[in-house]
Amino acid sequence: MVQMIDLYWTVIPLMLVHYYASHPWGECNWWRSRVVIFLTWLWSVRLSHNYFRRENWQWGARQDWRFTNMSLSYGNHWWWISFFTVYFSQQLLLITLSLPFYAIHSVNKPLSMMDLVATVLCSSGILIAYFADTQLHNFVTRNNNLKYVGKPIVPVLDKGLWYYSRHPNYFGEQLWWWGLALYAWNIGYGWTLVGAIGNTLCLAYVTKLVEERMLRQKNRTEAYTKYQKTTSIWVPWFKVFDPSGVRNKNA
């Protein structure tokens, strides 16, 4: 049931932030705590909504293609390898990503300008991820409708946020976690950055897998290659010219 792992991401950070906030030995700045709790709820609702929308409002009906490929590669050994590669590793990542919740509820320091910066980063990350995922969902839906009527699909999504970044949804998710880590760093818990760093490295690997998969699809190879040459990989940025001096015709 590795397809259920995505749902853990929507609830565990939420449970942890409330655990630390309600712990009898905890101490914190009330406003910082409440802002972080509110933002964590927004993040969780966004992620949950995107999960169920992507799965056509079903619970665990479809397995992530990456896990399917891994299960085929490992065959009969997948039952125990999945414990380490899926469950244990992601639980460890979730715990380290949630360390800023512990920091925020372990010290009572006045608010500062850095808290405002962290709030802006977290809020921006949630909004960027929401709009990027919505644009991706609409793109996939349109392509499915084109397939249904026997028309060719659009090979690359290069509109909206995807015009400026090949993976704006990943960028938004990273902004959220780095903003959260900034809250902790600001009050003297810089070591909690380890979670955000680990998540960035993980998303770098996932990005590589996604792009390799796109390039393996013959109806997308040419268009996606051009898209790679002209579009920033994560951070939204202006289009660049490809080596031939011609701007991507899909832009």
pLDDT tens-digit series, residues 134-155: 999 999 999 999 999 999 999 9
DSSP 3-state of 3:
helix
Which strand (E) or helix (H) includes residue 30?
Answer: helix 30-54
Residue 75: is its pLDDT beyond 90?
Answer: no
pLDDT at residue 249 tops 50? no
| 247 has a pLDDT exceeding 50 | no
Percent of the chain with pLDDT over 70: 87
Are 217 and 153 a contacting pair, CB within 8 Å?
A: no
Mean pLDDT of 215-227: 95
- Structure tokens that stand for 227 in this block: 């898209």
Q: Is residue 235 part of a domain?
A: no
Q: Is the pTM of this model over 0.85?
A: yes
Residue type, 146: L
Domain-embedded: residue 137: yes
Confidence of residue 77 (pLDDT cuts 50, 70, 90): confident
What is the pLDDT confidence band of residue 4, given thresholds at 50, 70 and 90?
low
Domain count, the chain: 1
Residue 120 lies in a domain: yes
Closest to 97 measured CA to CA, from 47, 159, 154, 150: 47
Tallying the residues shown for the chain, one arrives at 251
Contact indicator for 115, 186 with CB cutoff of 8 Å = yes
Domain that holds residue 43: 2-230
pLDDT score of 188: 96
Confidence of residue 58 (pLDDT cuts 50, 70, 90): confident
- Residue 56 domain flag: yes
Give, as one character, the DSSP assignment of residue 175.
H
Examine residue 237 and state whether it is found in any structural domain, yes or no.
Answer: no
Distance between CA atoms of residues 214 and 17, nearest Å: 37
Q: How confident is the model at residue 70 (pLDDT cuts 50, 70, 90)?
A: low
Model confidence at 2: pLDDT above 70 = no
pLDDT tens per residue, range 178-216: 999 999 999 999 999 999 999 999 999 999 999 999 999
> Looking at the predicted structure, is the pLDDT value of residue 63 above 50?
yes
C-alpha distances (whole Å) from 205 to each of 127, 194, 209, 211 are 23, 17, 6, 10
Single-letter code of the amino acid located at 18? H
148 lies in a domain?
A: yes
CA distance 222 to 215: 8
Return d(Cα 184, Cα 163) in angstroms, integer.
33
Structural domain includes residue 250: no
- CA 40, 234, 49, 70 dihedral sign is negative
**pLDDT digits 0-9 by tens, 82-101:** 777 777 888 889 999 999 99
> CA-CA distance, 45 to 39, in Å (whole number)?
10
| 143 occurs within a structural domain | yes
The identity of residue 129, as a single letter, is: A
Q: What is the reported pLDDT for 190?
A: 96
For residue 78, is pLDDT > 80?
no
